[in-house]
């Protein structure tokens, strides 16, 4: 608007927190020349549109527990709001919580990761996780737990790298469905989250009995010359 004839990418470095965040948008030339301070409160607004603060923070890595946390703020669909649950495979677990607000430039509440219920619920799903591949070569039988009574096929594609996961999940994750996320950063990138679900099958104990009887028949042929 007005004299804003330049595109701006603003990088914020927080050394003590080992994080970087980015903001982009329109700017006037004096901002680009460094002759004025930045004001991020004047978000575009009209009666028929909502503008959101978009941030994608570098994941926090916890080497001793091999955990990764990702914080994304973006525009989303209403069906994604209140999406809380877990996607679990035999090798990887993803915890998800999504909070929303519905007016321009608003601050969404900080989500907290859902609690984990590891009590078996009587259903089973095929499970696997393969990085940098679009299909699994083999599957394990995973006993689902808690409210996870759906089998899920989850594929995440980012920068042409695709990770594939099969396992158990909740109704909330399935109902939210797939999404395409455009993330800000040094280079704009898109993340495609493809989710498809089926009903889980009842778990049946098919373990072999403790004692097995094996019968072997030996045939002897007599050959005369």
Task: Give the pLDDT of residue 199.
Answer: 95
**Residues 15 and 64 both lie in one domain:** no
Task: Give the pLDDT of residue 143.
Answer: 96
- 194 strand-pairing partners: 155
Task: Give the pLDDT of residue 196.
Answer: 95
**Residues 38 and 106 both lie in one domain:** no
Task: Give the pLDDT of residue 31.
Answer: 77
Torsion, Cα of 166, 171, 175, 176 (10° steps):
-70
Contacts of 200 (CB under 8 A, 6+ apart): 123, 124, 125, 144, 148, 149, 150, 151, 168
| Nearest by Cα to 87 from 158, 155, 148, 142 | 148
pLDDT tens for the chain, 225 residues long, are 778 888 877 766 655 445 566 667 788 888 777 655 555 544 444 445 566 666 665 454 444 457 888 888 888 888 888 888 999 998 999 999 999 988 777 888 888 888 889 999 999 999 999 999 989 999 999 999 999 999 999 999 988 889 999 999 999 999 988 888 776 655 566 788 899 999 999 987 644 433 333 333 333 344 443
In a domain, 211, yes or no: no
Name the DSSP class of 209. P
Single pTM value for the model: 0.61
**Residues 99 and 185 both lie in one domain:** yes
Give whole-number Cα distances, 91 to 11, 86, 103, 140, in Å. Answer: 35, 13, 39, 10
In a domain, 215, yes or no: no
User: Within 10 Å of residue 86's Cβ, how many Cβ atoms?
Assistant: 24
Cα distance between residue 28 and residue 206, in whole Å: 70
**Residues 130 and 168 both lie in one domain:** yes
**Residues 187 and 156 both lie in one domain:** yes
Residue located via tokens 């919580």? 97
**Residues 36 and 67 both lie in one domain:** no
Q: Which domain holds residue 173?
A: 55-202
Task: Give the pLDDT of residue 32.
Answer: 77
**Residues 99 and 140 both lie in one domain:** yes
């Amino acid at each position: 608007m007005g004299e804003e004839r330049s595109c701006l990418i603003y990088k914020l470095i927080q050394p003590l927190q080992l994080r970087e965040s980015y903001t982009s948008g329109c700017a006037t030339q004096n901002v680009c020349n460094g002759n004025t301070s930045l004001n991020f409160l004047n978000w575009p607004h009209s009666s028929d549109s909502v503008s959101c603060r978009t941030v994608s923070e570098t994941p926090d890595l916890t080497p001793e527990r091999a955990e990764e946390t990702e914080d994304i703020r973006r525009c989303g669909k209403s069906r994604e709001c209140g999406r809380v649950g877990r996607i679990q495979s035999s090798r990887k677990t993803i915890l998800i919580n999504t909070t929303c607000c519905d007016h321009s430039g608003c601050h969404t509440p900080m989500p907290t990761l859902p609690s984990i219920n590891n009590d078996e619920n009587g259903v089973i799903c095929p499970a696997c996780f393969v990085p940098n591949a679009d299909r699994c070569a083999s599957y394990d039988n995973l006993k689902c737990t808690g409210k996870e009574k759906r089998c899920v096929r989850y594929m995440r594609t980012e920068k042409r790298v695709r990770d594939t996961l099969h396992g158990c999940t909740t109704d909330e994750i399935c109902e939210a469905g797939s999404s395409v996320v455009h993330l800000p950063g040094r280079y704009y990138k898109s993340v495609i989250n493809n989710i498809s679900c089926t009903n889980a099958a009842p778990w049946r104990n098919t373990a072999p009995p403790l004692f097995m009887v094996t019968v072997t028949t030996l045939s002897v042929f007599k050959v005369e010359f």
